[in-house]
Amino acid sequence: MQPTTHLFTIRVWQEEVARGVFEWRGSVRYGLDGQVAYFAGGDSLDDVALTELITRMIGQRDETTPAQGQAPP
């Protein structure tokens, strides 16, 4: 059975890339299997991009992880 809820940790921070020049950086971690995706600088993480990223992470897990109580393929 697939989980009905998912847990993600989203981290966002500024990093100095040159003297006095800062860039936004971040990561999204999927709590069920530890997958991490990173983004930086001009990468956009608006609602649509975040939704697509999370959907892709859940989909990858569903394709590679057997349902609870089932043997791996």
> What share of the chain has pLDDT > 70, as a percent?
70
Q: State how far the alpha carbon of 69 is from the alpha carbons of 1, 22, 30, 34, 35, in Å.
A: 8, 47, 21, 20, 22
For residue 22, what are the domain limits?
Answer: 1-43
pLDDT at 47 over 90: no
In a domain, 12, yes or no: yes
Phi, psi (deg, nearest 5) at residue 65? -110, 125
Residue 35: inside a domain: yes
pLDDT more than 90, % of the chain: 19
Inside any domain, residue 64: no
Q: How many folded domains does the chain comprise?
A: 1
The answer to whether 53 and 36 are in contact (CB under 8 A) is no
Q: What angle (nearest 5°) sits at the alpha carbon of residue 56, between those of residues 60 and 67?
A: 35
Q: Is the pLDDT of residue 35 over 50?
A: yes
Query: Is the model's pTM score more than 0.75?
Result: no
At 30 the pLDDT is 92
